[in-house]
Amino acid sequence: MRRLVFISLLVLTLLVAFFYYEKDETISGFTTAEATWHLTELNGQVFVHNATLSFPKSGVILGNGPCNAFSTTQTAPYPWFEVTPISATKMACGLTADEQVFFVALENAAYVEISGDTLILSNDTGPTLVFKSR
What is residue 6's predicted lDDT score, i.e. its pLDDT? Answer: 52
- Residue-range domain boundaries for the chain: 24-133
Q: What is the largest CA-CA distance in the chain?
A: 76
Confidence (pLDDT) at 11 = 52
Return the pLDDT at 5: 52
Task: With CA atoms as reference, report the closest residue to 75 among 121, 131, 28.
Answer: 28
Partners of 74 in beta bridges? 83
Contact partners, residue 17, CB within 8 Å, separation at least 6 = none
Q: What is the pLDDT of residue 20?
A: 46
Q: Would you say 49 and 70 are in contact if contact means Cβ atoms under 8 Å apart?
A: no
Residues written for the chain? 134
- Cα 52 to Cα 37: distance, rounded to the nearest angstrom: 5
Q: Which amino acid is at 112?
A: V
Range 24-133: architecture per CATH: Beta Barrel (2.40)
**What is the pLDDT tens value at each position of the chain, 134 positions in all?**
666 655 655 455 544 444 444 557 788 788 888 999 999 999 999 999 999 999 999 999 999 999 999 999 998 999 999 999 999 999 989 999 999 999 999 999 999 999 999 999 999 987 799 999 98
The whole-number pLDDT of residue 27 equals 81
pLDDT for 134 equals: 81
Output the pLDDT for position 104: 95
